[in-house]
Amino acid sequence: MTQDEQHASALVATCAKEASAHILAYAREVGLEPLSFLVNVAAVLASSALAAQPEDQLLEASRHIQNALGLVHCLRDDEAAA
């Protein structure tokens, strides 16, 4: 991974962490189940991101989202095996 890619990845991680914290806090404030609410918001954001993609970039964007979701499963599998 190049330095630019590492920097972009770090920015994405920071943004996601801050956004997640805000979404979870909002859910708690209005009396909703926080983790379920976070999943629903994430699904809508992913759908919106795909809908905004130009047709020639849609498949790549979809794969990127699928890979990110797959990474979560891999990390959980690794934790369960440890």
* Alpha-carbon distances of 10 from 2, 19, 40, 50, 60, rounded to whole Å: 12, 14, 24, 22, 21
For each of the chain's 82 residues, which pLDDT tens digit applies?
A: 899 999 999 999 999 999 999 999 999 999 999 999 999 999 999 999 999 999 999 999 999 999 888 877 666 676 777 6
pTM of the predicted model as reported, rounded to 2 decimal places:
0.76
Residue span of the structural domain in which 61 resides: 52-82
Number of domains in the chain: 2
On whether both 75 and 39 belong to a single domain, the answer is no
On whether both 35 and 2 belong to a single domain, the answer is yes
On whether both 7 and 30 belong to a single domain, the answer is yes
Give dist(CA 3, CA 5) in Å, integer: 5
On whether both 39 and 9 belong to a single domain, the answer is yes
